[in-house]
Amino acid sequence: MQSLFTQHLATVQQTVQQALELARLDGLWIYAGSAKPHFLDDQHSPFKINPHFNYVFPDPNAEQSWLYLDGKNKPKIYFYAPQDYWHVAPNPPTDTFFASEFDWQILADSQQIAQFIQPQHCAFIGEDEKWAEALGFSHINPKKVLNVLHFARSFKTEFEIKCLYQAQFSALKGHHAAKNAFLDGKSEFEINLAYLQATQQSDNNVPYGNIVAINQNSAILHYTKLDVAPPAERHSFLLDAGTTYLGYASDLTRSYAFDSKSEFAALVAEMEKLKLAVIDNLQVGYNYLSYHTQMHQWISQLLQDFDFVKLPADQIFEEGISRTFFPHGLGHQLGLQVHDVAGFQQNARGTHKAAPELYPSLRCTRDLAEGMVLTIEPGFYFIEMLLNPWKNAPLARFFNWQKIDEFKKFGGIRTEDNVVIRANGAENLTAKAAEMLNIR
């Protein structure tokens, strides 16, 4: 990890230099941030670090610490490590592989940073803009700097790819345990506990709220409720859950049929094949939208083949019917943030290309390039709210309503892997880790 991190930091330094030259500034002060208090309360939300801080200093627990970078000299860490008997104070990671890459200053008090900060010709990067003003900064989160940093972050260094790869292992172990808990008759709540136990992560460490959905609950795309009671009957199970490694996220989904011989199981298997087929096709230079569109054509074919819609696949696609069954995007960039930055940003100047009107939920409009890490997560759902408008449409008679209604009890299917774009195609980090673990 040491040499990968040294290379990573060299890339970061070049990016910082580029940003500073463009914005005509001398340095960046990056603040890690602090946990947010609840309204009128003395309790706090779990701490979520400023991802730009984590990008430079890979310790997601470095609450209230600061970094100073000028793109040339050794970066400086101002690590906040107070004496505290109420809370576990952040522990300076001085014995890690990255410690020696920084000059160190320990802060015993968060306000002590004021003694060190020289705000002239420097930018502040962080959430606490009022404090930055009070500290004398006049360049606070300048767009020019953020655009350069965000664009650079969409091309992962080998260090970052290693972290994203490591995060696959814990998540896969969790998925394996969760699948067994489902088959053992456990409730969503109990399955979530099995997942957390196997990953050794708490609800506060996982990169997003675990989606643990049995039966029709899997038709709610971001279902995070966790029923405590097991269902009377079980038909299907969808788990969308990840883990983090040094702040880098995995984002994996698997769907299961309770009856492995059912037609629903065959549909799950087809979706798995489609996901792998699109991953096989990924190539540098092609736009992410083209793969999303391709998936809609394939799902249109499934709608025809499984007799959900009695029309030819190309007509199903042209009429927009596949958008009812696959209403989200094919995936997104993945990194320190689950829906990582710059999915729409086309260059370091910040040119924005929005999702097309037909696919407003698409989170990536980028041309694929080496080093990008993306999720590929096709879905197929039976969502009442989206199906209903078709009931009064001229094409209503082509829908096999009886079969569609029968399938509502399954909710839906999503399958999601994490891939890195290489010069000659995509490397499937999830499949590679699953093979190492010998689980699927």
- Nearest CA-CA partner of 19 in 132, 122, 135: 122
Q: Is 59 in the site for Mn ion (CB under 5 A)?
A: no
Q: Is 319 in the site for ligand GLY (CB under 6 A)?
A: no
E-strand spans in 236-302? 236-241, 244-245, 248-249, 252-257
Binding mask 184-223 for ligand GLY (x = CB under 6 A): ------------------------x---------------
CB of 300 vs Mn ion, minimal distance in Å: 22
Assigned token pair, 373:
């890490």
Q: Which is nearer to ligand GLY, 178 or 321 (CB)?
A: 178
CB of 27 closer than 8 Å to CB of 20: yes
* Residue 340 among known ligand-binding residues: no
146-185 burial string, b = 16+ CB within 10 Å, else e?
A: bbbbbbbbbbbbebbbbbbbbbbbbbbbbbbbbbebbeee
CB of 245 vs ligand GLY, minimal distance in Å: 17
Q: Is 417 in the site for ligand GLY (CB under 6 A)?
A: no
Q: Is 251 in the site for ligand GLY (CB under 6 A)?
A: yes
Assigned token pair, 389:
């408008």
Residues 399-418 that bind Mn ion (CB under 5 A): 416
Q: Which of 240, 270, 319, 340 binds ligand GLY (CB under 6 A)?
A: 240
Q: Is 270 in the site for ligand GLY (CB under 6 A)?
A: no
* Residue 63 among known ligand-binding residues: no
3-class SS at 421? strand
In whole angstroms, give the CA distance from residue 429 to residue 426: 9
* Residue 367 among known ligand-binding residues: no
Q: Which of 240, 319, 340, 417 binds Mn ion (CB under 5 A)?
A: 240
Binding mask 320-349 for ligand GLY (x = CB under 6 A): ------------------x-----------
- C-beta nearest to ligand GLY: residue: 240
In whole angstroms, give the CA distance from residue 57 to residue 59: 6
Task: Give the CA diameter of the chain.
Answer: 73
CA angle 58, 141, 133 (to 5 degrees): 110
CB of 417 vs Mn ion, minimal distance in Å: 10
Residues interacting with Mn ion, by CB under 5 A? 240, 251, 253, 375, 416
